[in-house]
Amino acid sequence: MTMSRPDQHISKTAGDKTGTHLPTLRDYSLVGRESALAEENGLAAAEWYSVKIDRKVLKGLMKRKDGPAIRDTIIWFAALALSGAGGIYFWGSWWCIPFFLVYGVLYGSSSDSRWHESGHGTAFKTPWMNEALYSVASFMIFREPTIWRWSHTRHHTDTIIVGRDPEIAAPRPPDIKTLLLNIFALVNAWKGIQSLILHARGRLTPEEESFVPESERSKVYRTARIYIAILVAVVVACLAFQSILPAMLVGLPTLYGGFMTIFFGLTQHAGLAEDVLDHRLNSRTVYMNPLFRYLYWNMNYHIEHHMFPMVPYHALPGLHEAIKHDCPEPYPGTIAAYREIIPTLLRQTREPEYHVRRQLPSGVDAVPYNPGAVFKTAG
Amino acid sequence: MDEGWIDACGLEDIEPEDVIGFSHGGARYALYRTDDDRYFATDGLCTHERVPLYNGFVMGQIIECPKHNGRFDFTNGEAKGAPVCENLKTYETQQRNGRLFVKIA
Ligand code: FES
């Protein structure tokens, strides 16, 4: 998932007040003890389970097209323009609220899936279109494009491998307060601003140095300065107009419209196994309605996406049909997913080692459940 | 036969606009056929994280890596941008009597 990076999550000791559970500590940083342990255990850059699929079928599914994403992007920008115009027109009355609600979700939540798909280069067939969408969507979701491109690359190499994956949204024990604050992207935005300042000064954190190659770092510094310049321009516009309306259109929607990012995003991996080399055990495929699938660009087919990242979003339902015989039962909807996620996260605050074990279809060739990593207690 | 040329596969073993893998002397190679029947050969593993490129996807003269969608021009090995930063080694190919030969040495 893509909601927070490791510097935002160093796991704290989980002490059970009753004393029946040992305090447990996992170090989610990329430069700590678990990072070395993951390498020792053969979990870093390892080979992952992949459902067997006929090469011809897969080739058909991987085929790139411009049409679906052009259509979806025109609809997206048109809806942004209309809802934004409505918000401006009704500014000062309560009627602006529904317009800004729509605008905010399109801007602050849908940008997550656009950022994601174009970052993989699979949204469009034409490379420059992917790059253009990636730049715009990165700003909207307030992610620095180069940093996040590399962090997401690592997320795909080492999905939910502790000490390796920079994008574990719900480390154990989960930080419920941060998750709640991030419903409005508050913690992420605050950390994001701190990162921008650091990068604008020409520096990276040690974590970032572990996954951003030297050759890419100048891009990070330049983009951070551009982001800061845009944000300053928005503040200046607010002062000039004596109104927060400019910020309601650029900048703030990431916060007030960001709640669907976490709503969709937590379904991806939260509460599932860590340190397994099988996406069927650490990712969820959740059926969603057509509106959600439009906003989320089919990322609800998350096992499929991780197993075959070359398949574009518009072909994921087809991929799902092709491999579902060898995958756990999909969740029938987001409510069903949250019926599992919420109690699991709450229980993990007391029992960090607890997680949901996904049931693989019987008779299929499963990989060893956990090929070597041990959930070690703090020592 | 000239020094270094290896008989890698039949020309029809590769589908148009596709790639297959080939091993020789402990090394892995990727063999490509374009949709206008030109043949190319490169190292078999991605320069990013050593993932087999022959499980990837061919688009025109681009091979996309199956792991992180890194892209190379397989006609000259050029890396087309992050996350692949290092070019791919390419090898000469020749077609002889319905077979594809690759100059590996
Ligand atoms: S391993 Fe090929 S792009 Fe990463």
Report whether the peptide linkage leading into residue A253 is cis, meaning its omega lies within 30 degrees of zero. no
What is residue A295's predicted lDDT score, i.e. its pLDDT? 98
pLDDT digits (tens, 9 = 90+) for A206-226: 999 998 999 999 999 999 999
Candidates A157, A220, A307: best to mutate against B (most CBs of B within 10 A) is A157
Look up the ipTM and state it.
Answer: 0.91
B68 and B48 in contact (C-beta within 8 Å)? yes
Confidence grade of residue B3 (pLDDT, cut at 50, 70, 90): confident
Test A120 with B57 for CB contact under 8 angstroms: no
Q: How many domains is chain B built from?
A: 1
Give the residue whose CA is nearest to atom 3 of ligand 1: B70
Residue B21: beta bridge partners?
Answer: B30
Instruction: Tell me the nearest-neighbour CA distance from A82 into chain B, angstroms.
Output: 35
Q: Lowest mean pLDDT: which of A137-141, A278-282, A325-329, A360-364?
A: A360-364
Kindly tell me the sign of the dihedral angle through the C-alpha atoms of B38, B42, B46, B52: positive
Residue B73: beta bridge partners?
Answer: B62, B78
Task: Tell me the whole-structure pTM to 2 decimals.
Answer: 0.90
Nearest to A156 among B56, B57, B67 (CB): B67
Nearest to A121 among B50, B69, B85 (CB): B69
The CATH number of residue B40's host domain is: 2.102.10.10
Q: Lowest mean pLDDT: which of A6-15, A83-92, A269-278, B91-100?
A: A6-15
B71 contact A CB<8A:
yes
* Distance from C-alpha of B88 to C-alpha of B62, rounded to nearest angstrom: 12
Could you count the other beta carbons within 10 Å of the beta carbon of residue A61?
23
- Domain ranges, residue B27: 5-103
Pocket of ligand 1 (CB under 6 A): B 46, 48-49, 51, 65, 67-68, 70, 83-84
Test B59 with A125 for CB contact under 8 angstroms: yes
pLDDT digits (tens, 9 = 90+) for A281-331: 999 999 999 999 999 999 999 999 999 999 999 999 999 999 999 999 999
Burial class (CB within 10 angstroms; exposed 0-12, middle 13-18, buried 19+) of B96: exposed
Could you count the other beta carbons within 10 Å of the beta carbon of residue A4?
24
A320 and A301 in contact (C-beta within 8 Å)? yes
Test A309 with B49 for CB contact under 8 angstroms: no
* Distance from C-alpha of A32 to C-alpha of A84, rounded to nearest angstrom: 45
